[in-house]
Amino acid sequence: MNILKFFLTIILAAFLISSCNSSKEKIILKYNLVTPQNNIYVITQKDVSENEIKNNIYEKVSFHSNKPIRIERCDKNGKLTDDLFVSAITAFEYSKDGNVKFVKYFDKNLNPSPDKKFGFASIEYVYDELNRVRMEIYRDKNFKLLQVPIDNSGNFAKVDFLSPILVYEYFDFQIKIKALDQNFNLLKEVVGEKPCIPFVDCGE
């Protein structure tokens, strides 16, 4: 009886190990060759082999369960670079529903990296029941909401700025877009089209 229990235990353990291993999904890597151009970088060749990235500027995209989890931008020496008009690393975090919840930016030293123009280092996406982006929330390198710039008179400073919060209201034939400040006060409201966001609601 003890021998039977022993063998059953071994078979059960082997099954569990096998089940755990089969549930682990591998990280898939893809490489794209890129070229700096007009203050952006342009993908010139997609899905190249690892051999083709040598001596080229490229991005390495890590996928898990067919979803991108990290984009790393590298120079011709294969080192992370912040010289492509965008942070060295873009990281994606997902909700239980499989939607992108956070996009976070890091420099080549793995520190939060604010956008050079608007200062955001992460974006949070909130969805409605139809999995449409309902809200975008922009935060700084300390994970605090962006602040609307105010001049000494208490008015909006005459500089370009990004609203900390954008809210999208969907109607039959139009979308209402509301820009809110860090205290959720309405700054502006327009009717128009929502820009499509790569990896969030318009593919790659």
32-46 confidence digits (pLDDT tens)? 999 988 878 899 999
What's the confidence (pLDDT) of residue 204?
Answer: 65
**Taking 50 as the threshold, does the pLDDT of residue 99 lie above it?**
yes
Cα separation of 122 and 115, whole Å?
A: 9
67-82 confidence digits (pLDDT tens)? 999 999 999 999 999 9
114-142 confidence digits (pLDDT tens)? 998 899 999 999 999 999 999 999 999 99
Q: With a threshold of 0.75, does the pTM exceed it? A: yes
What's the confidence (pLDDT) of residue 193?
Answer: 81
Structure-model confidence comparison of residues 103 and 14, the more confident one: 103
What's the confidence (pLDDT) of residue 125?
Answer: 96
Mean pLDDT of 58-63: 96
Domain locations in the chain?
Answer: 27-113, 120-196
**Taking 80 as the threshold, does the pLDDT of residue 157 lie above it?**
no
Residue 31: C-alpha distances to residues 71, 81, 89, 123 (Å): 10, 15, 14, 24
Task: Give the HSE-up count for residue 80: Cα atoms under 13 Å, Cβ half-sphere.
Answer: 16
